[in-house]
Amino acid sequence: MNNIKVFESISEFQKYRKNLTGTVGFVPTMGALHEGHATLLRRSASENENSILSIYVNPTQFNNPTDLEKYPKTFEADLKLAADCGISAILSPSFSEMYSDNYRFKMSENEFSKILCGAHRPGHFDGVLTIVLKFLNIVQPDNAYFGEKDFQQYQLIKDMCHSFLVNCNIVSEKTVREKSGLAMSSRNKRLSSAGFEKAALIYQMLKSTDSVTDIKKKLTADGFEIDYVEEIKNRRFIAVTLEGIRLIDNVEI
């Protein structure tokens, strides 16, 4: 394993950050890393002299306590993957460090965050935008990397940085998929093997020429609970629950 540094203290990280020379890339995550994250980490490492990974399961973006509680935690494996991908340091602070104000202040957006996932997960994007802005302030990266699976999240973060004059380039990376087409996600680890196979239908439906109504019918008939199937601008978005696990994906159409 290379000499990867792990920081739990924000002030210790900031001392380290001050001495970095060259560009800094940043990949914010909630851990339970998979090949989708690895693609972001390798890209950051190839495009920047230094790359920082944050691992922080952010409670304010979970509207469902069971989802938060069951979020997979695989720190040792994450550390190894990060080192293999050429990451220089990991930042993994506690709740009290990240929310010293106990979430008194938050970032919110009033348009795009209110539809799709925002309409089904009240407060979710406030939590995401707040934590990402905090991390961008701590890490001060030149480039920050986000996966297209969470397209709404990526777009909102990009727009927030533009609005608040955050001097960081927000980069998106194509969704990494299983052989079946299922988008990689930390939540996939919680599916049974039958569920994992069945979940491939999401991508098939995203790519199909069926109408939104027919897609909903097919997914429901196969045991998926539907949050939404929507076409907005040039993208088709699907969010469903299978075996109690919420899965989202989208493609350009």
Q: Does 150 bind ligand PAF (CB under 6 A)?
A: yes
* Dist CA 151 CA 248 (whole Å): 10
249 binds ligand PAF (CB under 6 A): no
Taking alpha carbons only, the member of 21, 58, 23, 53 closest to residue 40 is: 53
Nearest-angstrom CA–CA distance, 30 and 73: 9
Considering only residues 60 through 119, tell me which ones interact with ligand PAF, judged by CB under 6 A.
61
Binding residues with ligand PAF: total (CB under 6 A) = 10
How would you class 169 by CB atoms within 10 Å of its CB: exposed for 0-12, middle for 13-18, buried for 19 or more? middle
Instruction: Indicate the residue among 32 and 219 with the shorter CB distance to ligand PAF.
Output: 32
Per rule CB under 6 A, is residue 29 in the interface with ligand PAF? yes
Give me the helices (H) in 27-179, please.
35-47, 65-69, 75-84, 95-98, 117-120, 124-139, 151-163
The CA angle 102-113-244, to the nearest 5 degrees, is 80
Q: Nearest approach, Cβ of 129 to ligand PAF (angstroms)?
A: 9
Q: Does 30 bind ligand PAF (CB under 6 A)?
A: yes
User: Could you tell me which of 135, 134, 114 has the C-alpha nearest to residue 125?
Assistant: 114
Identify the active-site residue in 34, 37, 124, 162.
37
Helix (H, G, I), strand (E, B) or coil at 59: helix
Of 44, 58, 88, 130, which one interacts with ligand PAF (CB under 6 A)? 58
Q: How far is the CB of 112 from ligand PAF (least distance, A)?
A: 15
Instruction: Identify the burial level of 157 via C-beta atoms within 10 angstroms of its C-beta, where 0-12 means exposed, 13-18 middle and 19 or more buried.
Output: buried
How far CA 120 is from CA of 101, 113, 153, in Å, comes to 27, 10, 14
Minimum distance between the CB of residue 178 and ligand PAF, rounded to whole angstroms? Answer: 18
Nearer to ligand PAF, 87 or 131 (CB): 131
For ligand PAF, the closer CB: 64 or 211:
64
Least separation, in Å, of the C-beta of 138 and ligand PAF?
A: 13
162 is a catalytic site residue: no
For ligand PAF, which residue of 131, 161, 182, 219 counts as binding (CB under 6 A)?
A: 131
Is position 171 an interface residue for ligand PAF (rule: CB under 6 A)? no
Binding residues for ligand PAF (CB under 6 A): 28-30, 58, 61, 128, 131-132, 150, 153
| Residues annotated as catalytic (active site), given as ranges | 37
